[in-house]
Chains A and B, each alone.
Chain A
């Protein structure tokens, strides 16, 4: 196996995307809205259809704008339904994205039946292709477009999270308390959701869907097992994101070779690597891990025979 410059780019782009997703992902996990990424991935369909009807072309930029707008709408509708309809957030997310997806299908069949408008074709990028598509050169180094886009998204997300850290934190844990403290919890929610929508759609466009959905959830969930502090959780999730990108691409190159194939889909392997890291955290986490809880219980039993274990 030869490590080429394009492999470095794939890992860097994967890491940028993973971090950009993992940071808002932490808040999603805390708010029990982890499947937002998946919901948006389905809900973008009407956005694509309408963007196509308006612009008359399948150019990436129009598709991106359409998808981003529908992404934000998904978040807004989800919030409306869960607050006015007294439905739990997971269920309202389910209602919104299935409805929007169905609307998208209807629009396509009615208005653009002979056009290939499926997101896999017009919106989702492939991380393997990103090194080919360069946008600017610094010195002798040609920077892939995806790296620039994702780095920008990451910077924006970091800036928003740092600026509104306290507000986001309090409204994530206790919206009522946030309101009594004079923080507009609803506004914070919409801010977070817009951040998620833009991040998701930009990442879909750059690297494809599976990796984005995984990175919104798994690194944050991993970090959640390892710490009780939000700031530490954000840092750990970013580290887990970088690790799974590197690990994912490495195993995409090496694992198929063991079975006699040349290489496999990197996005899938990166998403798989996040699952693996989560597995380690689940077993080995210092406080909430399987092993430590088992030892803890055993120690309790040894100290005090009257404790029954549960």
Chain B
């Protein structure tokens, strides 16, 4: 009894102290919340002054960017990508190994426009601390009204689907590398120029094969809304079953509407994507079949990730070549079976 009394008094007499410490802690939390942006301004710019050791390390997120950087940086740099083939970058969870690669890199390139989810947020903060971290699409965004938005003014990150868009990204990479390593600025520009020539060829090829599809059938139905840039660039009517994010669910009505659309317009094929589950697309095929219209699955498109590393489809050019050739052939257009450079293997 006595002991309890003592205890009670202890608590009563100390309560004010404890409440005070709670208040202190709360105000600390608030201060951190507010101070977040302002405390990185006086970081020393050691990175820009120090000697660059070749090959310096570049870390990139998605494969499409890795490919650009490899082509532009050449042997001056060792490039590592962290999001591999067949992986959905919207949902990617970095491992400790990826973070080691990011923190040890001299330069980091990522897509931006929320493609990398929370990892993008972190990279934005890392960039503020003075490390050379570049968002390739952010720079495109700053250049004017190229980047597409939806009704709610949100950016569509899938810029690489239009070769002309990715040409801008190549220019961003070349410029950024020139800033990081001014000694080799000309080298990067030359590399970029060579790569851009190939991309211009690819762009012409894509325009030509997509343009060969009869106007009425120029409709691309896919699993999620990743092909808007491609649609705009090559005059293709794009319908995604899911929204922009691979996480949003397709409503029954959306599927019904799309089925009616397929049947009414006699669209011959729909497409699945390598990094998104294909069950919704299969539902479309079943739905159209029930209404007497045979739609086939035209094949697998590369949307958010490229093909297997080391293969032709594992490069940006191969990926786009694969996509446009597959789409053109499935929708009744004219395209060589082996693609632009005769390197494509659509059978597997």
Contact = CB atoms under 8 A, between A and B. Distances in A.
Interface in B67-124: 90-91, 93-100, 102-103, 114, 117-119, 121-123
Contacts of B151: 114
25 contacts: A6-B100, A113-B243, A114-B150, A114-B152, A120-B117, A121-B117, A126-B118, A128-B95, A132-B99, A132-B126, A133-B125, A135-B36, A145-B36, A152-B32, A159-B22, A159-B25, A160-B22, A163-B11, A163-B14, A166-B8, A262-B95, A263-B95, A263-B96, A264-B95, A265-B95
Contacts of B91: 120-121
A114 B248 CA distance: 9
B25 A131 contact: no
B152 A136 contact: no
A263 B94 CA distance: 10
Nearest to B22: A159
Contacts of A208: 93
In the A-B complex, list the 4 residue pairs whose CB atoms are closest, starting with the nearest: A116-B245, A163-B18, A114-B150, A118-B247
B88 to A, nearest CB: 11
B46 interface: no
A162 interface: yes
Given A113-B243, A145-B36, A58 B114 contact: yes
A116 B206 CA distance: 29
Contacts of A131: 99, 103
Interface of B is mostly: helix
Nearest to B43: A137
Contacts of B346: none
Interface residues of A, number: 54
Nearest to B102: A132
Given A133-B125, A135-B36, A152 B99 contact: no
B247 A120 contact: yes
Nearest to B21: A159
A6 B247 contact: no
Interface in A153-173: 153, 155-156, 159-160, 162-163, 165-166
B27 to A, nearest CB: 10
Contacts, number: 137
Contacts of B22: 156, 159-160, 163
Given A126-B118, A152-B29, A116 B247 contact: yes
B28 interface: yes
A253 B95 CA distance: 10
B154 A156 contact: no
Contact of B96 (A105, A128, A136): A128
Given A61-B33, A263-B95, 10 more contacts: A108-B248, A115-B154, A116-B247, A122-B117, A124-B118, A129-B122, A155-B21, A155-B25, A156-B25, A160-B22
A109 interface: yes
A163 B23 CA distance: 13
Interface in A1-30: 4, 6-7, 10
A60 interface: yes
Contacts of A125: 118
A131 B150 CA distance: 34
Contacts of B103: 6, 131-132
A86 to B, nearest CB: 34
B277 to A, nearest CB: 15
B19 interface: yes
Nearest to B124: A133
A265 B19 contact: no
Most buried by B among A129, A148, A163: A129
Interface in A79-109: 105, 108-109
Contacts of B21: 155, 159
Nearest to A61: B33
Most buried by A among B91, B123, B126, B154: B154
A152 B118 contact: no
Contacts of B99: 6, 128-129, 131-132
A112 interface: yes
